[in-house]
Amino acid sequence: AQKITQTQPGMFVQEKEAVTLDCTYDTSDPSYGLFWYKQPSSGEMIFLIYQGSYDQQNATEGRYSLNFQKARKSANLVISASQLGDSAMYFCAMGEHNYGQNFVFGPGTRLSVLP
Amino acid sequence: GAGVSQSPSNKVTEKGKDVELRCDPISGHTALYWYRQSLGQGLEFLIYFQGNSAPDKSGLPSDRFSAERTGGSVSTLTIQRTQQEDSAVYLCASSFRDSSYEQYFGPGTRLTVT
């Protein structure tokens, strides 16, 4: 069963606008972590932001914030004030603390920032 | 400090040959992961090492694939009798403890089987 779903294979956003990348997940483990990674065309995987399942507040890291809706099992990434350098693949991932030892990545969303 | 390193960065091999890919994790990280990424695709989990525990090999696609981690540090992914469908980028990542911590990725090894 697909544990991480990213329904947007590709997204476009105008420079300086905000954009939301969707991620839904599936787990029966009450304790888990949600992660977002960025992969530019250079191929490196860059960690962006983390949200723990017990965290009360949405995670924020600079221009990145995670809109965590636990009941909906949704962990959308919001990028504010998009920059041309934000053009990349974005992967949502989950690590289960009790039931799983491995990480599961979603299929990714390709974001293109337009000048 | 040093990040995760992988070698070689590129490997071209003939179908049927064996290859070894190496990963040096960040010092102090007890968890190590191998992934495979085909062109334009997401990450496919291969294997996970955590400390001295038995590795989670559930993602290895066939018995031609094996991996070991010596001394809780360096890891080697071996592919025997390579096939063209093995062509991909092989990514290694390490994390401080387990899957509850963020992973730091190496630059990957691009494997091409001709």
- Contact at CB, B42 and A35, closer than 8 angstroms: no
- A93 neighbors B42 (Cβ within 8 angstroms): no
User: Is A45 in the B-facing interface, judged by CB distances under 8 Å?
Assistant: yes
Which string of b and e fits A52-86 if b means at least 16 CB within 10 Å? Answer: ebeeeeebeeeebbbbbeeeeeebbbbbeebeeeb
pLDDT interval class at A36 (50, 70, 90): very high
Percent share of chain B, pLDDT over 70: 97
CA distance A11 to chain B (A): 15
pLDDT, one tens digit per residue, over B9-35 is 999 999 999 999 999 999 999 999 999
Q: How many CB pairs under 8 A join A and B?
A: 61
The contacts of residue B27 (CB under 8 Å, 6+ apart) are B1, B2, B73
Question: According to the model, what pLDDT value does residue B72 have?
Answer: 77
Among candidate residues A110, A104, A109, the one with its CA nearest the CA of residue A2: A104
Return the higher-pLDDT residue of B100 and B70. Answer: B70
**Residue A4 contacts residue A106 (beta carbons within 8 Å):** yes
pLDDT at position B2 is: 82
Nearest chain B Cα distance for residue A64, angstroms:
16
Percent of chain A exceeding pLDDT 70 equals 94
Cα A62–B98–A109 angle (5° rounding)? Answer: 45
The H-assigned helical ranges of chain A are none
Calpha distance B82→B77 (Å, rounded): 13
